Structure 1
Amino acid sequence: MSTVCGKQKQDSEHPYLSGNFAPIDTTLRPTPCTYTGLIPSELIGGEYIRNGSNPVTNSDLGRDAHWFDGDGMLAGVLFQRSTSDASHVVPLFVNQYILTDVYMSAVENADRLSTPILPSITSLVSPFSSLAYIIFRILRSVFLVLLSHLPGSQQAIKRISVANTAILFHDGRALATCESGPPIRVQLPELETVGWYDGIKAEGEPDTLETSELSEAFGGRGLLSFMKEWTTGHPKVDPRTGEMVLFHCTFAAPYVHYSVIPAEASVAKDTRILSAPVPGCSGGKMMHDFGVSLSHTVILDLPLTLTPLNLLKNEPVVFFDPTKPSRFGVFPRQSPSSVQWFETEGCCIFHTANTWDETDETGSATAVSMLACRLTSASLVFSAGNLIPSQPVHRKDKTKARPMSFFAKYDEDQDIGDVEKELSDEKLPLLYHKPTSSEGSSAQSHLPPISKDDEEQCRLYYYRFSINSPEPSITHQFALAAIPFEFPTLNPGMEMSNARYIYGCSTSSETFGAALGKATKIDILIKADVHTLLQRGQTNAHLGLGHVVDNRNIAQILASTDPLDPIRAFQMPVNWYAQEARFVSRKNAASEDDGYLLFYAFDESQLDEDGHCKEHAFSELWILDARSMADVVARVRLPQRVPYGLHGNWFSEAQIRSQRPVEGTRQMPVSRKPIAVKLSESI
C-alpha cells in the first residue's frame, strides 16, 4: 500500500498537495478495521461516507492547485453486522475514485499528462494570471476534451464535473455532486460508480414505467442546455416529502434555473420542476449553496462572480466586489417566478446551516429565517489555492456596526475592538512546521499565506426575511457568536424546521484570516443552541448587521462549566485535526441532540519535519457523543489515511437496502489504444 506521500520532495511543492492534503493513490475494497470503545448499535448496517478532491494527475507538485480542485474520491466506513453475532459489528473501510468522464480520460492518458485536464481554480482567480495565460488554460482544456472524442480514445469527456464536493441520498440513489455538472450515482456500500443522473434516471439503471413517462431532463434542449445541467453541490432533500430541491447556475441569463424532484413513491408527483428559470439574478455567480425550508427556497445572489465575461473587464474569472450588495431571492418552493429579492451589505456565503418558515395562526408563512456561515470577504477562495488574498476594493465605515456583546451598552468609545481579533495571537499559516536549522527562512516559501485583513470574519449568521410586508425587508441579520464557524450540520430529521442545535467546525485560532488559512485544520467542534442565542439576539433592539450575540472567544467557551451554556465546544487532542462531522440520531432519542457526530481525524505527529506524511500514516473515524460534546464513544483505526476533504453523509441500513436496481456500473477500460499525440503541458 503506497501513497503519494512517498513521492520525491520538490522545492516548489504546493501545500495543498502535501501533508494530509496530499492525494492518495491507493483504493481499497471493504477492509476490516480495528477499533476501541463501543460502537453504538444505531450505526450497525449503515455507512459513513465523505467526498473530497484527490487529483489523479499529480506528477507536477509545483503546479497551480486548489483545495476545491481534483478528482472526486469517496472514503467510507461500513458498520457491517457480524455473520456470527448479529449484535456485533465489523467496521470496514472502503475508498474509491468516482469514475467521472474526466477521471477516466486522465487515467487513460496518465503517461502523457503532467497537469490535470481541467484548469485549476487557482489559475482562474490568481491576480498574477495574465489574460493570455487564462485563455491558454481554458483552450488547453477544450482541446483535450475534443481530443477525447477522436477515434482511439476509449473515454469521451461528455461532462466536465469531477463530482468531488458532497454526497447525499434521494429516492433510492446515492448521488455525488459538484456544481460543474449533474449529480452522479454511486452504489453502496462498495462505492462503485453507476452513472450520471439527469433528473429522471441514472446511466446504468433499467428503464421503468416511471422514467419512461418523463421526457424532459436537466438542461432541457437548446445550445446552452449543457450549462443548465450544472447543479449545486448541495441539493436539499425534504425529510418529510422526500423531494429533492436543487438549482443550476450558468453564465447566461437568466443565470439560475431551479428543479424539484419528488420521490417516486410520493403522492404529490405534480411537484416535479425541471430547470425552471429564476428571474432577477444579477449575473453569473459562484453560487455554492442555498436555503430550503418546508415551503420556501432562498437563492444567494452574492457579489462573488464566476464568469469568463469578467476577462473582458480585466478581472479574474472569479471576482469578489464588496461594494456590490448581497441579494437573497425568496420564493415559494413551487413558484420560482414569484421570487422576492432582499438586499444587504456584500458578503460571501458558501454554506447555509438551516432554513425554516415562520407561520401565522392559519399556517401561512409570514417570514423565512436562515442560518448561514457568513464571510466578509472571498479570502477562502484565494487561501485554499495558496494565493495571497486580494485586497478589498472598498470597505464601508464599520464604526456604526462594530461587534458588540448582547450584554454590552452603547457608548461613544469608537476604539472598541473585536474580541475575536484582540485575543488572538495566531500568526501561523496552515501547514506551519518549525523550520530546521538547515531550512532557514526559505522553509516558509511554500506555505499558504494568511490574510492580513483584520476586518475579516467567518461566523454563524442569522437572517430573517419578512415575506408578507408591503416591501421585502430583512428584519434581522446578526452573528450568533464571534468564533469562526463553518461546515455546519444538524439532526437531519430537523432540517428545514426550526431546529434547536447546529453543529459546526472551528479552530483554536481566533482571527478570521487564520481560520481561512486553516480551512481544514479543524481542532474544535462546536454545538450551538440556536434557540437560546436567537432569543437573546431578538430581544436586543439595537442588534443588527455586524453585531454579535455571544462575543466570547474559544478559550472562554472551552473554560465554561455552565451546563446550560448555549455554546459547547469539543477540542481535539494536541496535533489531532478533525474534518466535517455528520449527525446520527440515537434510536428512540430523548431529545433533538441525542445522537452522535461522526468525523475523520488525523494525527499530524505522523508528518515529518518537512511536513510530509510518514510511511503508513493512517486516519481514524471518531464517534463523539453529540449531547455531551465531551465523550468520544469509539475510535475506528483505518488502514490508511483520509486526506482533508469536503462533505460527508450518513447512509442508514434501510437506505442501503432500498437502492434502486442497476444494470451495470462504470468500469475502467482494460486496455487502451494510445492517441498519437503527446498530451504534455506544451499543448
Structure 2
Amino acid sequence: MSEQTDPRPLWLSGHMAPVPDEIDAADLPVDGTLPSELSGRYFRNGPNPLPGEPSVHWFSGHGMVHGVRLRDGRAEWYRNRWVRTTSFTEGAPMLRPDLTVDRAAVPANTHVVPHNGKIYALVEVGFPYELTPDLATVGPCDFGGRLTGAMTAHPKEDPRTGELLFFGYGFTPPHLTYHRLSADGELVESREIEVPGATMMHDFAITENHVVWLDLPLVFDLSLASHGMPYRWDDGYGARLGVMPREGGAVRWYDVDPCYVFHVGNAYEDETGRVVVEGPRYGRDGFDRIWSAIGGPAVTGRDLARAGSAIGGARLHRWTLDPESGKAVEEALDDRGVEFPTHDESRTGLPHRYLYTVTDDSIVKYDVRTGATATHAPGPGLHPGEAVFVPAEGARAEDEGWLLSIVSDGAARGSELVVLDASDLSRTASVRLPRRVPAGFHGNWIPDAPAVPSTIGPIG
C-alpha cells in the first residue's frame, strides 16, 4: 500500500490547520487542581484563514485569539474570535490603489498584549487592534493619531517605569522607527533609526539603559509579493546588532556572523557594562528550511514530517557586546532546536536566570547561569505552544510560578491548556478545551484588574 499523504501545505494541516468557526463553552473540565490565585484570562493569537480562503504563507492568515477564563480554581469559559480588522470584515487591501499603505488593513495575527488596562492584538505591519476582555474587537488604535507607521508585535514593557517600548519597520523609508508609550498609554516619543535598507526586523531587545536592534539579512523583495511574504535571505546585506542609548544618542553597531533571530529571550547589561543578548539563532540552512516549510509549495508524506521538525531549527545562543573592544562574542548555549523563548517579565531588560522555550514536542527550561536544563514532554504526538510564565503571588525565586501552554494533538484530535510548576516543570493541572486549537504564535496571561473604558464601540 502506498504511503498516505496530505496534499495540503504544512500550515493548513494536522495540528496547524485552521478552525472553521467561533465557539463558546463554559465550565471546562479540569484535570488536577488549578491554583486559586490564577484569576484572569489566558489569550493566545495566531493566523486562521477563513474556510476556503487562499493561504500562501503561515504568517498571512487572519488573526484569531483563543481565550480561557480562570477564576477560583475553575475554568469558567473558552472562546475564540477572529480579530475584526478591515481586511477581515471588508477585504480591504493593505496597499491602496494610489500605492499608499492602509495600516488598519492587517491580519493582527501575531501577539496579544495588555497595557494600561487595554488589550491589543498585534501584527508587525500595521496598527494594533484593541480587544475587550471578552475578545470582541474595539477597533484599530493609532494612539490619538501619533502613530503613523507600523507597530511591532513584540513591544517590551519596562518593569521599572511601566513604559511600553516598541518599533516599526517599513519597506519604504523610514525603514526603522523607535517609539515609546508612557505607562498611561500616551505615545511620547518617535525616533527614526538609520539602517541600510528594508528588512524584516521581527523582534528587538531592551536593557536598563539601552535598546538593542537586530539588523539581519532578511531583506524586502517586491518581486516575491505574489508568492507569500516578500522577504528573502541576502548574504550581501550583512548581519549586525545595534546598541542605542534609550535617552538618545547614536547606535553602536556590532558585526555578527550571518543569522536570523525571530525572537529574543531577554537582554541585560552585565557588571562590566557589556550588553548580553540571548535568543534562538537560525543559520542560513535552518532558516531556509523553515521559510520554505511555512510559505513554499505544498509538502507531503515524509517531506511533511521533515519540514515539521524544521520549525524548531534555531539553537539558543548568547551574544556579548563589548563597548571597549567594539566586538561581539557569540556562543551556543544548547544544540537542540527551540523557539518562542519566554521569561519572567519582571526581569525584562535586567539580569535573569531562567528562559523557557519549546521544541516540537517539549517545553525546555534553561538555567542560563549554570547551563542546566529541564524538559517537560506532554506525551507522544502532542505539540506544546509558547509557555507563558506567570509569577506566584509574593514569589521569592525567579522561577516561583507557573507556565501556561496550549498543547495540541498532532492528529488534530484536541487541545488542552496545561499549567506547569515552573520550578520543576511538573504538571499542576490541565484544562480540556472544547476544540482543537491550531498551532499559533504568542499569548499572554492577563490578570484580573479594572479595565480602562474605550471610547469606541466593539465590532461584532
TM more than 0.5: yes
Alignment correspondent of 1:426: none
The Cα offsets for residues 625-666 of structure 1, whole Å up to 9 and x where unpaired, read as: 11112x211110111111111101111113xx2x21123433
1:278 pairs, out of 189, 193, 196, with: 193
3-state SS, counterpart of residue 532 of structure 1 = coil
Question: Of the candidates 33, 41, 57, which is equivalent to residue 38 of structure 1?
Answer: 33
Secondary structure of the structure 2 residue equivalent to 1:349: coil
1:447 equivalenced with 2:447 (yes/no): no
Contact residue 206 and residue 268 of structure 2 kept, 8 A: yes
Partners in 2 of 1:473 and 1:164 — Cα distance?
Answer: 37
Q: 1:473 aligns with which of 323, 327, 333?
A: 327
How do 1:212-361 and structure 2 match up within 5 A? 217-219=146-148, 229-264=149-184, 272-274=188-190, 276-279=191-194, 281-308=195-222, 317-335=230-248, 337-359=249-271
Match of 2:126 among 181, 190, 194: 181
**C-alpha distance in 2, partners of 1:293/1:526?**
24
Partner of 1:352, secondary structure, is: coil
- Matches of 1:310 and 1:102 in 2, distance apart? 21
1:78-112 CA distance string (max 9 Å, x none): 1134xxxxxx5343112111110101114xxxxxx
**Does structure 2 conserve the Cα–Cα contact (< 8 Å) formed by 1:386 and 1:449?**
no
- 1:159-198 alignment runs, 5 A limit: 159-188=104-133, 190-198=134-142
Q: Distance in 2 between matches of 1:90 and 1:301?
A: 42
**Are residues 65 and 354 of structure 1, via their aligned partners in 2, closer, same or farther at CA, if it must alter by over 3 Å?**
same
Distance 1:104 1:626, change over 3 A: same
Contact between 1:75 and 1:93, CA under 8 Å: does it hold in 2?
Answer: yes
Counterpart in the other structure of 2:81: 96
C-alpha separation between the residues in 1 aligned to 2:201 and 2:242? 13
Matched, 1:640 2:459: no
Match of 2:387 in 1: 581
Q: Which structure has greater helix proportion?
A: 1
Deviation for aligned residue 1:187: 1.2
1:446 Cα offset (Å): 8.1
Indicate whether 1:660 and 2:439 are aligned: no
Between structures 1 and 2, the one with greater strand share: 2
Quote the offset at 1:356 in angstroms: 0.7
| Residue-by-residue CA offset, 1:175-228 (whole Å, 9 max, x unaligned) | 11101102111111x11111212134xxxxxxxxxxxxxxx6012xxxxxxxxx
Cα contact 1:387–1:449 (8 A) shared by 2 = no
Q: CA deviation at 1:64?
A: 5.0
Describe the SS at the equivalent of 1:233. Answer: coil
- Contact 2:138/2:459, CA 8 A, preserved across alignment: no
Q: Which one-letter code corresponds to 1:663 in the other structure?
A: T
Residue 601, structure 1, aligned to residue 407, structure 2: yes
CA deviation map 1:545-590 (0-9, x unaligned): xxxxxxxxxxxxxxxxxxxxx1111112112221111011112223
Q: Take 1:452 and 1:384, find their aligned partners in 2: how far apart are those partners? A: 12
In the TM superposition, residue 158 of structure 1 has moved relative to its aligned partner by: 6.1
Out of 15, 21, 32, which is 1:20 matched to? 15
In structure 2, the CA distance between the partners of 1:33 and 1:25, relative to structure 1 (3 Å rule), is same
2:72 aligned with 1:54: no
Q: Give the aligned residue type for 2:179.
A: S
- Between the aligned partners of 1:458 and 1:230, the Cα distance in structure 2 is 27
Alignment gaps of 5+ in structure 2? none
Change (3 A) 1:452 1:632: closer
- Report the Cα distance in structure 2 between the residues aligned to 1:178 and 1:641, rounded to whole angstroms: 23
Compared CA separation, residues 36 and 317, structure 1 to 2 (3 A): closer
Tell me: CA distance 1:185–1:574, structure 2 relative to 1, closer, same or farther (3 Å).
Answer: same
Larger Rg: 1
CA gap 1:244/1:307 in 2 versus in 1, 3 angstroms: farther
User: Are 1:627 and 2:423 an aligned pair?
Assistant: yes
User: Partner amino acid for 1:278?
Assistant: I
* 2:277 paired with 1:370: yes
Amino acid of the structure 1 residue aligned with 2:192: P
**Any conservation in 2 of the 1:14–1:446 contact (CA below 8 Å)?**
no
Shift of 1:50: 0.3
CA deviations 1:57-89 (Å, max 9, x no partner) are x316xx5532212000000111134xxxxxx53
Aligned amino acid, residue 273 of structure 1? E
Q: Which amino acid aligns with 2:58?
A: W
Aligned match of 2:59: 68
Displacement of 1:23 after TM fit? 1.3
Structure 1 residues 290 and 89: alpha-carbon distance in aligned structure 2, compared to 1, 3 A threshold:
same
Distance 1:647 1:332 in 2: 28
For the 8 Å contact 2:36–2:71, the answer to whether it is kept is no
Counterpart residue identity of residue 584, structure 1:
V
1:399: which partner in 2?
none
Give CA deviations for 1:1-50 in whole Å, capped at 9, x if unaligned. xxxxxxxxx9743332122222112213463211110001221x211110
Whole-angstrom CA distance in 1 between matches of 2:260 and 2:335: 17
What is the aligned counterpart of 2:293 among 354, 367, 383? 383
- C-alpha distance in structure 2 between counterparts of 1:11 and 1:592, whole Å: 44
Matched, 1:493 2:346: yes
**SS where residue 87 of structure 2 aligns?**
helix
Identical amino acids, percent of aligned pairs: 30
Matches within 5 A, 1:484-523: 484-506=337-359, 522-523=360-361
Query: 1:166: Cα distance to partner?
Result: 0.6
The change in CA–CA distance for 1:163 and 1:373 in structure 2 (over 3 A counts) is same
**CA distance in 1: counterparts of 2:251 and 2:366, whole angstroms:** 31
Alignment deviations for residues 315-334 of structure 1 (CA, whole Å, 9 cap, x no partner): x9311023542111211113
Query: 2 CA distance for matches of 1:621 and 1:64?
Result: 27
| TM norm structure 2 | 0.90
Give per-residue Cα distances to partners, 1:518-546, cap 9 Å, x unaligned.
xxxx211111110123xxxxxxxxxxxxx
Q: Return the alpha-carbon distance in structure 2 between the equivalents of residues 495 and 589 of structure 1.
A: 16
CA distance in 2, matches of 1:48, 1:198: 25
The total of aligned residue pairs comes to 448
- In structure 1, stretches of 5+ residues that fail to align are 1-9, 82-87, 107-116, 119-140, 148-155, 201-215, 220-228, 361-365, 389-428, 430-442, 507-521, 534-565, 608-612, 669-683
